[in-house]
Structure 1
């Protein structure tokens, strides 16, 4: 099992970017994630907003089309007199009309999650070398790796969620039948026990596969190869990866809550007069409307601002965990130092061709093109750097 000080450590531990190029501590990873977010917030915020905006537009368009198609059935279902019941065909028509919107919502959420999962490692690739990520470069990088990252997100979710899905598929029908006495009375107990047994196994699987998006972006591997590579990297370090990733998520939620609090307080201050005058029949309705509008605007802005950090910070932590594991196990620090030096190769944000030779200190990455986090040494024809042998 690799120790905290394991792996090759450069004598001076240079720090060209957000981290020192050596095995990282918990503070180094969290501090590096904060620094990467602060230095590259324009690209991070811009892409997250673009992804969310596109998803909202698509879902809104689907809902608008559904409403336009079945608008005449709303009165037949909701505008009923006393004792009247809506016809089954009207209810079914409304449900079927909004099914495509629901499916599109799930698809946009999944694709958006994959895009943001690819964004964190792509930014870390540049941040560890002291480079600033731009919106255009990051968008192209994430878009080019989106199929592989999307595959890792979906397949990892299915693999990790398979035990829980099996428990629900078996126990939920039994619980429903037991409600009217036709099923076993202990079905609910079996469901609770099954969840408690399967939940740790699902968490273990999810942690083993959590670095797959970073692998797909940084090493250019496909979906299955990235999942296998993630399991290989996390092996012998599961507790550390689980603990740091959970800590990163908790920090993101705490900071997001702190961001949202001022907006909530301003909104409540605007909404307070409405609450005080709720029983006053002589109150001015325009004041109440204005206060309600201010309250809603503050809540929306606060939620959006906090969500940007909550969505963007955890992928940065996972990206740095990936870099840390490769420094500890594969001597990635030496390649990063060569890439960050003035005479080092200036690699683009996109994947490289595998033609260049690897540095002799670290093992080659299995399969797939390499990226700046996996930077290769210059070709033999190039002039060597002064500090190279």
Structure 2
């Protein structure tokens, strides 16, 4: 998205101006994201607004003849707030469709828009999300909608990464870890040795390294797919690779740096308990370490999309994430936690039935489970690996999509990114203050 306006860091600091209005983010940012700038104090001075607004004093009640062709269109009339049979506006109240309210309001009114009396104002939706501050349901729906509408790009990326990771892990578990004495199998006692421990740690580290690198690759490419989905633009695997490959080294460095920071934060508190060999102190430090690690993880959770979409450096991306999350930590934590629970449930639903089929259909059943040999049977490894490939193919884009959309949502709330995105998507916010779906763009 380097060629598309809107993703770069703003030259000024608009987030400082709007960050204190999170409590009003749904209305304030929504009206800005949907409607562009407010009309000038004197509409006649601006030809764009003088052509769209009626002359002063010519607003009329419904049922009367329209005063001029330039008058704003009135929404369909409906029952009023007054007594039955009373004409709207008969008691001096605002008529239906006035720019300042009424029962149903209109696109200029503060209470809603046509078709949704108490909902947020109409907003441009060139892609998978409306360009205004997002709710939880809209973020999750945007992630799923991108998977559905851009599956030709999403599916090959996640499937390729999931297959590589699971094939490597399955081969290591079958042919390498079973030969290590530190690997509990067949009910035998574990005879610890320095060589076995070192081998086990090295292989485990290699497995996790492959998984981390695969996740980084998928995250980088999916970020580009989701950024185009927000604008309603088509995407391809080749295009996502071209746009993301220049930032891949930095994303790897960012991931390693954040991981080391979390490990260091935990080690500083855990090492004293290990040295003193105190179970009570270890439990106490665990209660302290867990909140710190979670807090840092959420504070840095938006650094990856900031790095990829703003083409920034590692430390600038960390600073951007810290700034965007500030003041919204609990909201981002809750959405991230809920996403993790949803993806965990999906993984469990897919994995456990297939792995049980592998154990009982192609293994030794409960006996292999009891003596520990089930984890080495081909039935368990193959069916479990296939289950994890399917689960990761589904859950990986959901997690990546929620992270990207959280980043977009925070920038809309703090920096009016919706205006830049609307212009990039071809929506003319100057002449169409409250557009619906932009023509020519699909979600």
Compared CA separation, residues 296 and 62, structure 1 to 2 (3 A): closer
Mapped pair 1:317 → 2:402: yes
> What residue is the counterpart of 1:16 in the other structure?
126
Q: Is the aligned partner of 1:245 residue 2:347? A: no
Within the candidate set 237, 243, 266, 1:135 is matched to: 237
* Offset at residue 276 of structure 1 (A): 11
Superposition map of 1:334-373 within 5 A: 334-341=419-426
Task: Answer whether contact 1:59 1:101 (CA < 8 A) is retained.
Answer: no
Q: Deviations over 1:104-139 (max 9, x none)?
A: 334323322322332342221011111232111223
How far residue 228 of structure 1 moved from its aligned partner, in angstroms, is 0.4
- Report the 3-state secondary structure (helix = DSSP H, G, I; strand = E; otherwise coil) of the residue aligned with 1:210: coil
Cα shift at 1:250: 1.2
Structure 1 distance, partners of 2:291, 2:326, is 17
- Find the aligned partners of 1:250 and 1:277 in 2 and give their Cα distance: 32
Q: Hey, what's the Cα distance between the residues in 1 that align with 2:365 and 2:172?
A: 37
Partner of 1:215: 306
For residues 61-112 of structure 1, what are the alpha-carbon distances to aligned partners after superposition, in whole Å with 9 as ceiling and x for unaligned? 9999999xxxxxx89x9xxxxxxxx9x9xx7667667776555334323322
Q: Which residue of 2 aligns with 1:354?
A: none
SS at match of 2:231: coil
The alpha-carbon deviation at position 255 of structure 1 amounts to 2.6
Secondary structure of 2:304's aligned partner:
helix
1:299 aligns with 2:384: yes
What is the distance in 1 between the residues matched to 2:354 and 2:164? 25
Q: 1:226: which partner in 2?
A: 317
SS of match in other structure, 1:248: helix
Choose 48-57 or 202-211, whichever is displaced more.
48-57
Pick from 146, 150, 162 the counterpart of residue 40 of structure 1: 150
Query: Taking CA–CA contacts closer than 8 Å with sequence separation of 6 or more, which of the two structures ends up with the larger relative contact order?
Result: 2
Match of 1:155 in 2: 257
Q: Distance in 2 between matches of 1:64 and 1:297?
A: 10
The answer to whether structure 1 residue 121 and structure 2 residue 206 are counterparts is no
Structure 1 residues 165 and 96: alpha-carbon distance in aligned structure 2, compared to 1, 3 A threshold: closer
Could you tell me whether the CA contact under 8 Å between 1:63 and 1:101 is conserved in 2? no
Greater shift after overlay, 204-213 or 141-150?
A: 141-150
Q: Which has the larger radius of gyration?
A: 2
Partner of 2:209: 107
- Quote the Cα distance in structure 2 between the aligned partners of 1:115 and 1:14: 31
- The answer to whether the 8 Å contact 1:39/1:132 transfers is no
2:296 aligned residue: 205
Shift of 1:53: 4.3
Match of 2:159 in 1: 49
Moved more, 312-321 or 297-306: 297-306
Change (3 A) 1:240 1:305: same
8 A Cα contact 1:45 1:308, kept in partner = yes
Q: Is the 8 A contact 2:225 2:235 kept in 1?
A: yes
Q: Name structure 1 gaps, 5 residues minimum.
A: 68-73, 78-85, 176-186, 279-291, 345-358, 360-389
**RMSD of equivalent CA atoms:** 4.0
1:149-204 C-alpha deviation (Å, 9 max, x unpaired): 222222222223322111222212322xxxxxxxxxxx111111111012212211
Separation in structure 2 between the aligned mates of residue 277 and residue 157 of structure 1, nearest angstrom? 39
In the TM superposition, residue 269 of structure 1 has moved relative to its aligned partner by 7.9
Q: Which residue matches 1:4?
A: 25
- Residue segments in structure 2 that go unaligned for 5+ positions in a row: 1-19, 36-121, 183-190, 369-376, 431-443
- Matched with 1:144 is 246
TM-score, normalization by structure 1: 0.67
Aligned partner of residue 10 in structure 1, secondary structure = helix
